[in-house]
Each structure stands twice: as structure tokens, then as C-alpha cells.
Amino acid sequence: MGPHPGPGALMQRQIRRLGLSFVGLFALLFAQVSYIQVFAADRIVAMPGNATRQIRAEFEVQRGAILAADRRTVLARSVEEPRRSVYRFRREYPHGELYAHITGFYSRIYGRAGIEQAFNAYLAGTAPELAVSNVADLILGRPKQGATVYTTIVPRLQEAARRGLAGLRGAVAAVDPRTGDLLAAYSTPGFDPNDLSSGTDEEIRRAWARLVNDPQRPLTSKAMQELYLPGSTFKLVTASAALEAGFGPESLWPNPRVLDLATTDDDLENFGGSLCAGGVARVSLRRAFQESCNVTFGEIGLELGAQALADQAIAYGFCPTLPPERTDCAEPAIDSPLPFENGRFPAPPYFERRVPAIAYSAVGLDNVLTNPLHLALIAGAIANGGDLMAPRVVTSVRDAQGRVVRSFDPEIAGRPISPTTARRMTDLMLAVTQGGTASSTFAGFPIPVAGKTGTATNGEGRPPNAWFAAFAPAGTAQTPRIAVAVIVLDGGDLGNEATGGRVAAPIARDLIAAYLGG
């Protein structure tokens, strides 16, 4: 009979068994959690009642506010519901449709859009940077609070955009050329995000059906997401390409009444079929830009060629496309936290069998497309000495105690032109407002403005769209502080008589005055 094990050996054996038991239990627990999170996750989420419970859990959180640049104006906030409601908080948009395309919406049925989507982790309090704040809420027994998002939007400028477009269909976008800060973005017709965030489920569904079935697409921002023929505002790009290629502002170009395009029955004419610059035989680049001569710019485009024109457009953030088969934007040159469509310009292979189309593209027709925000960024690049800034919508995020948990710095998206070309382009744009196609709008205006008008065809039998892009102050010792672009659809109040100088430029002028105090 062997020696009886001592007390120490028995204890070690029991500890070993206990340890193995714990290892087994942890293995079972790990397997169960893995099964639930990986293999059974979809089935569990799909179980009746779970979606409702998840939505109710989201609305137990006091979602963070969205504030304007002045840090006082509330664009979106969460308010506590009456006790009889199954949801603790409701999302509220105090200004209705004014900021709708910026804030987006937060709906218990249709999800999120705009800033509500792009910065959801901060607003909902789930971002890793908010872990300390969440623990404090738990210890103190407070409802979980999301972070406050501080935007770049300037209320007086947004309100000026709404006033300017009152009764019209169109859009306005304004940025700070130095930082890319989105100062204003307004589109009409718009929508009231309160219709999607409050009321009964049936009321929310009716509002959604009305909005998505509206042919004017009020849920889509015409300032940032829709694309339109830019017309003569695209001469900002064509003139930049000419200057970069070595053609100076005083370079001379033929000035016929009509540009006869080879291999086609089409001709390119000036606006209204008029002669440019009084009918002189040759016209300078400066004069052709000032008077927006289509014929001359068609010739410039043909002289530069498809590659040079496409290269300049791409440098300004346009996506190369091969219409009509491919018009998507595979690699956007300009990123934005909000839904944003970069402009489109045909890639050089498109022109191989369509050489005359180069002339139309040079004046912003054919398959050239853009929107007000992109055009404002282009004007801003000229104002900024050639640096194209990416749009910035949010400057910082702060937790419930006011601590900054995330900051967003300005970012350069590219350098499409040299500082020398930027200075020359500024002079060309000043000529437009000081004796050119927008001179009547800016006569006596106390702030020097550099601008470009545009009038673009808009489909058979429809009035043209009117454009204007500008920045200010320009040509002085002051640094440009605002770049703005305006589109008024279907000619606004003037219909077929509309021009960019008469319809869109006054709206841009009033925005510049509202921002700079002119």
C-alpha cells in the first residue's frame, strides 16, 4: 500500500481540477458568444421584435446637438418625449427645411442622412473617444448623452440664400476659399426633416412617400448632389487651361460670328447669335472672357485639344467619364463628409470620333456637368492662389462636458493651377463684374468681386438655367473670404430671357453683402 498523499498534494489536485473546470466553462462561454455574434447574428436580428427593441434602445440615448458656426444656433437637437411615449427622446429640427440638406434627418423608420449619418457615432455616443463620458453617465445615473457637433454653417448666409431663391427653383453654395469651410448650402425645393422624425409611424410613412415620389426630388440637394450643364461658367476651367499652356490674357484669337465645326452640320454661336467685341477680326482672351464669347472659347478648346482640356478639368476635381455608356465617378477627386457629386468631364477617348465636341465642352456644354458646391470650390481655388480645398462641414466634436474629443483640420484636395495663373484668372474675373456680363449687377457695389456668368441649355423647349460663380474681396490687399456659386433653374422669373448676369448674379451679390457686411 503506497504512501497516503499529503494535504498539499490534495489541495494542488483540487486546484488543478477547478482550473480545468474554469477553462472548460470559459471555452463554452466563448463558443456560445461566437455562435451568437457570428453564426446566429442574422437570424437573431431578424427575429420579430428585435428591430423594434433596437430602435427603442437608440431613442433612449440623448443624441448630441448639431450647432452652426456661431455655436449658438441649433440645427438639430433631441428633446424628451412625454412619459406616455414608447420613445424617450425625439429628434427636432428647429428651423425646418432651412438646413435640411446639411443636417439630413434621423428617423426611427427611414434611418439617417446628412450629418446625422456622417457623424452618427459621435451624435449617438458610441465613438471610442466618448468612452470616458459614457462611464461618467453610467456612474451618475444619467441617460447616455451623445456629443455635440460644431459645423461651419453661417446662419445669416444660409438665410440670405433662402431669401435669394424665394419662389425659385435652384441652389446656392458658399465656401471659405482658405479652408474649404462650407458656409452655406441651400436648395429649393427642399423638405422639413421634422416630418420624418416625429409623429406617428403612419404619418412618417406618408411624408416619406410624398417626398420620394415628388418629381422635383426634394430629398436630393441641388447644391451638392445634382449635376447640371455649367454653360459659360466652365470657361473658368478653359481659360485656366489656356493660361497654363502659355497663352497670355492678351493673346489674340479669331472672332467670327459663327464657328463652323468640321465633319458636322453643327455650328457654335455666341449668346443670341451676336458678334463679340464689336465684331473685330481678332479678340483677346481677356475680352473674350469678359464678354463670354462662345465662338472664341470654342476655338481655344480646339487649339488646346482634348487632353489638355481634360487634364485641367480633372485637376479641378472633375471625374473623367466615357458617356453615354459610363457616367459614374469611379474615383472622386474631392471628398466630402456630406453626399456630394464631383463634376463630370469626358475623357479624351470620348473625343476621338467627336472632335467638334471639344468646342462645345470648352463652353460647358455637351457632356460637361457640375453643381454649385463644386463650382464654388473651383472659384475658391482661384481665390486661394491655386490651392483647391476639400469641403469641410464640421470643425470639432465636444462631449457632454464640453471637452473637444475630435477636431477636423482643413485639407488641400489639389493644386490645379499655379499662383501666377490664379492671379491672371482673378483679373479676368474682375473684368466680368467691372465692364463685362455682370457689370450692371455690381455697379456701385462697395466690395470688389471676381465672377463669371453662365447660361446653359436645359432641354428642348425649356428655358435655360442661369449660373454665376464668384469670390470676394478680390484684387485688393484683403484676403478673399467667400466663394459662392448660384444656379437658378428654368430661367427663374425671366424664363427664356434669363442670363446668369441678370438672374443668378444678384443672388450671389446679396450673399457676399450678407457675409462681408457690404
Q: Which residues are catalytic?
A: 232
Per-position DSSP letters for 423-446, written without gaps between them = HHHHHHHHHHHTTSTTHHHHTT-S
The length of the chain in residues reads: 518
518: its cell numbers: 457690404
Q: Provide the β-strand partners of residue 404.
A: 398
Partner residues linked to 455 by β-bridges: 466
Q: Which of 128, 186, 127, 137 is nearest to 158 (CA)?
A: 186
Taking Cα atoms as reference points, which of 157, 160, 231, 226 lies closest to residue 374?
226
The full DSSP string for 241-261 is HHHHTT--TT-EEE--SEEE-
What CA–CA distances, in Å, run from 285 to 188, 233, 454, 501? 36, 15, 17, 20
- Bin 233: left if φ > 0, else alpha if -120 < ψ < 50, else beta: alpha
Query: From the CB of residue 209, how many other CB atoms can be counted at a distance below 10 Å?
Result: 10
E-only strand ranges, 64-124: 66-67, 74-80, 89-92, 106-107, 111-112
C-alpha cell read off for 289: 472672357
473 preceded by cis ω (within 30°)?
yes
Q: What whole-number distance in Å separates Cα of residue 338 and Cα of residue 328? A: 18
